Each structure stands twice: as structure tokens, then as C-alpha cells.
């Protein structure tokens, strides 16, 4: 009895200490620049909502993915707001693990969210996560090297042009590689790039009956094209290059072109880090004339787990962090160039932003040309441009990534890599019950 009294007393004491009505919500987020900036600006939110307190758990991308996935799958209930990507949202929404975001306030203007992004975060027309930051991929190229090769980059190049330009720009003697592309094995590494690229060649991971498609000619064309191109015009050691390695190469002036995330534009054009900052041009990701471009779509988004007790406070926070007003707040404090990109159409119509970010239009066009629900030429049973939104994809994608990186390193042929990928995919999909 006495113990209960003491505990009760302690509880009420702490309740008084933290304010009589304060409700505290825990937010799990990723440690990239835009998110860290948001944490610094939360005074604005707490000033508007004095009864809500914010607790932050900031983690590196892979750790975050692991923590929040384990938490939501085991109904741990540690977090009230989770930062998740476009890969997780469709899977979790299907399991009824997320609250639909239908109460974000009258001024929120959900119609302003870029349609391609909203499509990737919705299930059956209901929005399950609000985008905080969005990106696609595009071509970054060196204008000076392009001139030297006697070529002009069109706004929407074809793969044929890219390959031709890459071979012409390559100058092994002065250590300039025509093109730098991802080669390190992994579902978020080379597979992200290659899946998006294969889309533009008309390839798909699975047909409508979840039958893997690596034995089809489209994949062979795409992979052969990639390997040949990298052999002729790629950097040495490409099979272990990911985003950061290619970024370093490009910044040091060793790449003629680089196809990767749109967010890289702000790094390569930043004169303090990049030796080629004033020479970078941008173009849409290439196509082969089949109607799809080889660019991906990703959005870090805020979602609310279905088990939370504090749904109302959590929705208020999500609405604040992904609102138009938040973008203006960042602009007023840190300048338009530092606003989280890729979520709202109105941002790209803002002349001040267009001036601060010369790559703004290309980013928007890239995002708009990706469609997560119809990623490739032929119909598919899955959601996702550079991934397949099923739980099995991370493991399967990494296996296939290993096989493709072996082909890039010259340790196996393209045919062997594709045959291996087909076997692995059939095995995994049969086990998971997709193939009956």
C-alpha cells in the first residue's frame, strides 16, 4: 500500500514538474541536414502548442530503419511520430500499422503536395505519411568537358547520347572518367540505380503474377548497356562505389557525368566542397524512347503509428513540420537554398526559391516524371520506382546487387549474373508465398 502511495506521489510530482497538461510526443528521425535543422526550429512549434513537448530520437538511416521497423512490428509503442521512406509506407499501411493522415488542419492544403510523391505515400487514396523532403535522380554533368567533347547536353537526353558523350569525355591520361555510376552491391546502392535505369529500358522486377523477369531481354539490354558503358567510361573500382564515393570523385573533377540523387546538386555546386562548382549542368535522367525515364523517387516522410495514444498531438506536429509555413520559416531563418526540397508544388512556383536553387526546375521535372504506381513500361503488381515495396525486397535486392556488382567487376558474365538473379528471385518469392 505504502509503495503505491510513494509511486503515485512520484508520478504526480513529476507531472507537476513537467507542467500540468503537457503531453510529450517522441519523434524518431534520421540524421540528415534537413531533419537536424527541423529540431533547431521547434521553438516555433512549442510556442504555438505550449501543451505539447517534443522528444527526439535521431539516428543514422539504417539504424533508424531497423529501430522503427522492429518497434512497429512488435507493437513496442516507443514512438509517436516516425520518419520513414517511400519504401516502408505502402508495406506498413497495408498492415494497418499507420494512422491515415486525415486531420492535418484546414490550412494544410494537402492538394499542394507534389502528386508523384503523394502517390507513393498513399494506399487506396488515403495519405498515410506526410512528405518532409523528397528527391529524385538526374544527370549532373561538367559543362566544360561537354564543350570540349563538342557536344551539347539536351534537357532530356537518351541513354544513347549519354553513352556516346561518356565515351567521348573519357580521358584516361588525365584521369577523367566519362561517367560515374553506383556499383556497390546493395538494395539501396546499385540496385536503386539499376532498377530505375532498367525501368527506362522497359524491364520490370516481376510480372503481374509475381514471376521474376530477369530472364527477359529487357533486363539483359539494360545490364549489358550499363556494364559496357562502365567498362569504357567508368572509374576504376566502380564495383565498390556508392553515393559518397561518386560524390567525392565528381567533386574532385574526375567524372564527366554522374547520375544520382537530386540532393547531390547542392553538394556539387557548393564552392567550399567542390572543385567544379561553377561548371555543373543538370539534365533529366535518360530514357530509351519507351516513355519512362531512369530516375527514382524517394521521400523521407513523417508517419504516425496506429498504436499511439497521442494521435492528436502527433498529427499537429506532422502538420506543422510538413506545412507551407514551415518552408517559409526555414527560408526566413536560413535562406531559401536550405528549404527541404521536393514536397510542395508551391515551393517550385516561388520565384525566390527558383533563384536560390538553380537546379529547382530540373528537380521538380524529375520528381514529376517518376510514378511509383506505374514505374515501368509494362504493368507491375508492386509500388515503387527504384525498389519493390514488399518486405522481402531488402534481402533479395542485396543478393541481386551482389550478382550485378560481380558482373561489373568482370568476375561473371552478364548472362550468369541475370541467371543467378532469376534463381534467387524465384527461390525467395516462392518461399514468401507470392508464387503459388
Partner 1 sequence: MATRQTRTLARFMMVPSVILLLVWMVVPLAMTLWFSFQNYNLLNPANVSFGGLFNYRFFYTDPAFFQSIWNTLVIVVGVLLITVIGGIALALLLDQPIFGQGIVRILVISPFFVMPPVAALVWKNMLMHPGYGVFADIARFVGLRPIDWFAQYPLFSIILIVAWQWLPFATLILLTSLQSLDGEQKEAAEMDGAGALSRFVYLTLPHMARAITVVILIQSIFLLGIYAEILVTTNGGPGYASTNLPFLIYRTALLGYDVGGASAGGIIAVVLANIVAFFLMRAVGKNLDK
* Residues found near partner 1 in the complex (CB under 8 A): 69-70, 73-74, 91, 95, 175, 184-187, 189, 235-240, 245, 248-249, 252, 254, 391-396, 398-399, 401-403, 405-412, 420, 423-424, 427, 431-433
Cβ 335 vs Cβ 266: under 8 Å: no
Report the SS3 class of residue 212: strand
CB of 410 to partner 1, least distance (A): 7
Compare residues 358 and 391 and give the one whose CB is closer to partner 1: 391
CB of 219 to partner 1, least distance (A): 17
CA 309 to chain centre: 29
Compare residues 25 and 421 and give the one whose CB is closer to partner 1: 421
Compare residues 254 and 324 and give the one whose CB is closer to partner 1: 254
Compare residues 184 and 293 and give the one whose CB is closer to partner 1: 184
Give the integer Cα–Cα distance in Å for 388 and 87. Answer: 8
Alpha helices in 130-181 (DSSP H): 143-148, 159-169
CB of 408 to partner 1, least distance (A): 7
Closest CA to 362 of 242, 237, 264, 240: 264
Closest CA to 101 of 71, 138, 127, 122: 127
Compare residues 202 and 420 and give the one whose CB is closer to partner 1: 420
Closest CA to 33 of 300, 357, 248: 300
Compare residues 46 and 70 and give the one whose CB is closer to partner 1: 70
H or E element: which one contains 363? helix 360-368
H or E element: which one contains 407? helix 393-408
Backbone phi, then psi, for 90, in 5-degree steps?
-65, -35
Query: Kind of pairing, strands 52-59 and 23-30?
Result: parallel
Give the integer Cα–Cα distance in Å for 231 and 254. Answer: 16
Q: In terms of C-beta density within 10 A (0-12 exposed, 13-18 middle, 19 or more buried), how is residue 409 classed?
A: middle
Beta bridge partners of 55: 26
Compare residues 223 and 396 and give the one whose CB is closer to partner 1: 396
CB of 398 to partner 1, least distance (A): 5
CB of 174 to partner 1, least distance (A): 13
H or E element: which one contains 424? helix 414-431
Cβ 218 vs Cβ 201: under 8 Å: yes
CB of 394 to partner 1, least distance (A): 4
Other CB atoms closer than 10 Å to residue 63's CB: what's the count? 11
CB of 327 to partner 1, least distance (A): 33
CB of 177 to partner 1, least distance (A): 8
CB of 400 to partner 1, least distance (A): 11
CB burial of 356-382 (b: ≥16 within 10 Å; e: otherwise) equals ebebbebbbbbbbbbbbeebbbbebeb
Compare residues 88 and 287 and give the one whose CB is closer to partner 1: 88
**CA 363, 260, 262: angle at the middle one, nearest 5?**
25
Compare residues 34 and 392 and give the one whose CB is closer to partner 1: 392
Compare residues 184 and 204 and give the one whose CB is closer to partner 1: 184
CB of 34 to partner 1, least distance (A): 24
Query: Kind of pairing, strands 126-127 and 177-180?
Result: unpaired
Amino acid at each position: 500500500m505504502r509503495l503505491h502511495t510513494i509511486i503515485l506521489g512520484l508520478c504526480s510530482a513529476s507531472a507537476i514538474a513537467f507542467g500540468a497538461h503537457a503531453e510529450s510526443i517522441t519523434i524518431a528521425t534520421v540524421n540528415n541536414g534537413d531533419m537536424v535543422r527541423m529540431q533547431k526550429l521547434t521553438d516555433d512549434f512549442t510556442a504555438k502548442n505550449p501543451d505539447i513537448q517534443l522528444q527526439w530520437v535521431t539516428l543514422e538511416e539504417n539504424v533508424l530503419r531497423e529501430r522503427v521497423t522492429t518497434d512497429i512490428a512488435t507493437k513496442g509503442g516507443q514512438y509517436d511520430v516516425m520518419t520513414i521512406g517511400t519504401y516502408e509506407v505502402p508495406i506498413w499501411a497495408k498492415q494497418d500499422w499507420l494512422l491515415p493522415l486525415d486531420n492535418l488542419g484546414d490550412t494544410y492544403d494537402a492538394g499542394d503536395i507534389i502528386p508523384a510523391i503523394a502517390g507513393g505515400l498513399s494506399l487506396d487514396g488515403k495519405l498515410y505519411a506526410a512528405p518532409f523532403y523528397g528527391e529524385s535522380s538526374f544527370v549532373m554533368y561538367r559543362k566544360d568537358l561537354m564543350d570540349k567533347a563538342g557536344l551539347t547536353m539536351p534537357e532530356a537526353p537518351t541513354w544513347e547520347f549519354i553513352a556516346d558523350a561518356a565515351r567521348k569525355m573519357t580521358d584516361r591520361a588525365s584521369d577523367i572518367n566519362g561517367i560515374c555510376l553506383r556499383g556497390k552491391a546493395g538494395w539501396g546502392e546499385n540496385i536503386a540505380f539499376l532498377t530505375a535505369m532498367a525501368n527506362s529500358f522497359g524491364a520490370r522486377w516481376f510480372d503481374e503474377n509475381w514471376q521474376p523477369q530477369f530472364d527477359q531481354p529487357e533486363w539483359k539490354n539494360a545490364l549489358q548497356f550499363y556494364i559496357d558503358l562502365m567498362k569504357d567510361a567508368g572509374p576504376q573500382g566502380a564495383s565498390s562505389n556508392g553515393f559518397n564515393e561518386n560524390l567525392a570523385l565528381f567533386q574532385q573533377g574526375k567524372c564527366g557525368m554522374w547520375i544520382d540523387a537530386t540532393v547531390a546538386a547542392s553538394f556539387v555546386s557548393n564552392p567550399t566542397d567542390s572543385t567544379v562548382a561553377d561548371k555543373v549542368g543538370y539534365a533529366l535522367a535518360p530514357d530509351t524512347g519507351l516513355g519512362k525515364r531512369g530516375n527514382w523517387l524517394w521521400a523521407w516522410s513523417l508517419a504516425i503509428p496506429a498504436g499511439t495514444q497521442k494521435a492528436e498531438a502527433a498529427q499537429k506536429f506532422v502538420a506543422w513540420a510538413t506545412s507551407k509555413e514551415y518552408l517559409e520559416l526555414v527560408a526566413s531563418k536560413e535562406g531559401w537554398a536550405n528549404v527541404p526540397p521536393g514536397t510542395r508544388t508551391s515551393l517550385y512556383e516561388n520565384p525566390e526559391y527558383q533563384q536560390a536553387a538553380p537546379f529547382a526546375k530540373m528537380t521538380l521535372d524529375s520528381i514529376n516524371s517518376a510514378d511509383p504506381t506505374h514505374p515501368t513500361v509494362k504493368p507491375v503488381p508492386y509500388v515503387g520506382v527504384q525498389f519493390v515495396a514488399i518486405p522481402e525486397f531488402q534481402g533479395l535486392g542485396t543478393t541481386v546487387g551482389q550478382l550485378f556488382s560481380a558482373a561489373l567487376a568482370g568476375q561473371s558474365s552478364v548472362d550468369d549474373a541475370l541467371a543467378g538473379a532469376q534463381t534467387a528471385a524465384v527461390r525467395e518469392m516462392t518461399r514468401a508465398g507470392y508464387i503459388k
